[in-house]
Amino acid sequence: MMSELQMQKAKKVVKSITPVDDKTWILPSSTNPKQTYCVSLSSEKIFTCDCRGYTYTHNCYHVMAIRIARGEF
């Protein structure tokens, strides 16, 4: 479940999404514009992100931003 802070961060970076292909995207950090993260969509329809937050919680605002951009929210 996303917190209100995570949702705000997702909305902040959604306009900065850079598609790599139809299942991979690059997004900036909300706090460090020089840092980027990669979100991928697996063949099993599972999103993953290489940010530290996702590593620990399997949930992050980068994935939320992609889902917003795809119209899932």
What's the pLDDT at 39?
98
Structurally, how many domains does the chain consist of? 1
- Model confidence, pTM: 0.91
Residue among 20, 16, 31, 21 nearest 65 (CA) = 16
Q: Rg (Cα) of the chain, in Å, rounded?
A: 11
Separate counts of helices (H) and strands (E) for the chain: 3, 4
Beta bridge partners of 39: 25, 49
- pLDDT (tens, 9 = 90+) of the chain, 73 residues, equals 678 988 999 999 999 999 999 999 999 998 887 999 999 999 999 999 999 999 999 999 999 999 999 998 7
Parent domain of 14:
4-69
Residue among 24, 17, 18 nearest 49 (CA) = 24
